[in-house]
Amino acid sequence: MKKTIKPSHSAIIKYIESNGYGGESIQSDGNPTHEAYEDAMQELISQTEHKLVNSERETEAAMILFACILGGAMIILLSIAIGN
């Protein structure tokens, strides 16, 4: 089961402020509506999950590249050893 990383309250408020939420998304007291808050939270969760998936893919690619380089070095060393 995948663990969801929830953004902090301040991150959600900052996201709302920096992404042009306004009008009906802001209550008369200046706070975001529940719907706007949930929407911003879900968007931040989605962005975080996307970054984690990309990070996992980059890690896998780096491990494959390392294995290929290591394998190539072993082939070179074996051909040198056999050639002597």
**pLDDT (tens digit per residue) in 15-45:** 888 887 777 788 888 888 899 999 999 999 9
The pLDDT tens digits for 48-77 are: 888 888 888 999 999 999 999 999 999 999
In a domain, 51, yes or no: yes
pLDDT of residue 2: 62
Task: Collect all residues with Cβ–Cβ distance below 8 Å to 37 and sequence separation of at least 6.
Answer: 12, 16
In a domain, 4, yes or no: no
Nearest one of 75, 72, 8, 3 to 44, comparing CA atoms: 8
- Alpha carbons 45 and 1: distance in angstroms, whole number: 16
Domain total of the chain = 1
What is the span of the domain harbouring residue 48?
Answer: 9-83
Contact of 32 with 16, CB cutoff 8 Å: yes
pLDDT of residue 80: 92
In a domain, 64, yes or no: yes
Beta carbons within 10 angstroms of residue 26's beta carbon: 15
